[in-house]
Amino acid sequence: MKKLFFTVLALAGLLCAAAQTQDWANFGRFEQANGQVRNPKVVLMGNSITELWIKTHPDFFAARGYVSRGISGQTTSQMLVRFRADVIDLHPQVVVICGGTNDIAQNNGYISLPHIFGNIVSMVELARANGIAPILCSLLPARDFGWHKGLEPAPKIIELNRMIRAYAAQEKIPYVDYHTPMAEPDGGMIAAYTGDGVHPTEAGYDVMEAIVQPVIGAALKHTGSKRHK
């Protein structure tokens, strides 16, 4: 019995040590870069869609003083955990929040739509509490996920977008609708805008930039006028 006790204790210690070496929210991804950024105009917070955006169209960010803080595969829970380090501590004027696809894909297991939505609301509240103007985005359309097939995400995406849009209207937060101009009637993404059904091509990012840039511009103008009052 004594031997069993020490065996269990040793296993518990190993599990704790393993947990301590895991950077679940991936704080390390931008730790060095964050130390080199000072007061960017805009931070785009998201997942692989945001991460691949700066890799596909780097000039969209560099020419405007925008910063990308997208991490591939992340859920809104992970985004929320790192929101202080990767957004608040950078002191931007505006944050563009775009997430939820990987939650619906169950990258970290099942999570309900209300809880995904709650994570997004929490990021908005953190931004506002720190004087950062939030912009909310729809999820992009998707018919299926290549890495987790059979979840039928299209109607779930539409419902989550409805929740985000309604909240944005209620709270007078700018809302960017990528879904409507990029979706097929069945809720999948238009083939010309994606290579895998989830992530945009260059043409897809062209569409997104044309939609989001006027919204960002208006938000910057508004925050700028408030700061000069």
Residue with tokens 């409507």: 180
pTM of the predicted model as reported, rounded to 2 decimal places: 0.89
Tens of pLDDT, residue by residue over 80-136, are 999 999 999 999 999 999 999 999 999 999 999 999 999 999 999 999 999 999 999
Residue 21's pLDDT is what? 63
Look at residue 208 and tell me whether its pLDDT is greater than 50.
Answer: yes
DSSP single-letter state for residue 191: G
CA distance 116 to 104: 9
Tens of pLDDT, residue by residue over 36-64, are 998 899 999 999 999 999 999 999 999 99
Look at residue 5 and tell me whether its pLDDT is greater than 60.
Answer: no
| pLDDT > 90: percent of the chain | 87
Instruction: Indicate the pLDDT class of residue 224, thresholds 50, 70 and 90.
Output: confident
CA-atom Rg of the chain in angstroms? 19
Q: Work out whether strand 94-98 and strand 133-137 pair parallel, antiparallel, or are unpaired.
A: parallel
- State how far the alpha carbon of 143 is from the alpha carbons of 138, 150, 153, 179, 188, in Å: 15, 10, 6, 12, 4
Nearest to 182 by CA among 193, 172, 169: 193
How far the first Cα of the chain sits from its last, in Å, is 72
Higher model confidence: residue 39 or residue 216? 216
